Amino acid sequence: MARLSEKHQFILYALYKYLTSINRRFENEPLEASMMKIDFIKLLLDLKIVEKSERALYKNLEILQEERYIKYEAHFLKLTNKGLKQILRIEDKMLPFWKLWEQINKGDIKLLKAVQSYFK
């Protein structure tokens, strides 16, 4: 098994985050949202977060499917257990960056001494 490229990891993570966000609506219901391949590809293209063609994205989803990170069931994309484990690895790597980002945005960083400012 080859290591997933950053592009494949990004697509896998994007699918996970999107499915997670739309499934929040159904937390208290016996429902689960899913997404068709073409709709997910159009979402990525519309958001302009990838610089790939529709065909290249479709091929990347096929590779993720062949490697068993996702499955295509009844015309809908779903994450496999292997895909979820990969997501956890991605989140573990990203966690320090998120914590830093949150602290900076909240203004929680304590300065040891006054910050010096100057004119540009």
Q: Please give the pLDDT value at position 1.
A: 47
- Output the domain CATH number for residue 87: 1.10.10.10
Q: Is 1 a domain residue? A: no
Residue with the two structure tokens 């739309």:
22
Q: Is 28 a domain residue? A: yes
Q: Please give the pLDDT value at position 80.
A: 93
Kindly state the DSSP code that residue 68 receives in the 8-state scheme.
T
CB atoms within 10 A of CB 40: 22
Q: Is 64 a domain residue? A: yes
Q: What is the count of structural domains for the chain?
A: 1
Q: Please give the pLDDT value at position 115.
A: 63
Nearest to residue 15, comparing CAs of 66, 87, 99, 98?
87
Q: Please give the pLDDT value at position 45.
A: 93
- Taking only the tens of pLDDT, the chain with its 120 residues reads 468 889 999 999 999 999 999 888 888 888 888 889 999 999 999 998 888 899 999 999 999 999 999 998 888 999 999 999 999 999 999 999 988 888 888 876 666 566 666 777
Sorted by sequence, the CB contacts under 8 Å of residue 109 that are 6+ apart come out as 103
Q: In the chain, which ranges are continuous DSSP H helix?
A: 6-23, 37-47, 54-66, 81-106
Kindly state the DSSP code that residue 119 receives in the 8-state scheme.
-
The pTM score is 0.78
Q: Please give the pLDDT value at position 4.
A: 87
CB atoms within 10 A of CB 99: 11
Question: Domain of 90?
Answer: 6-106
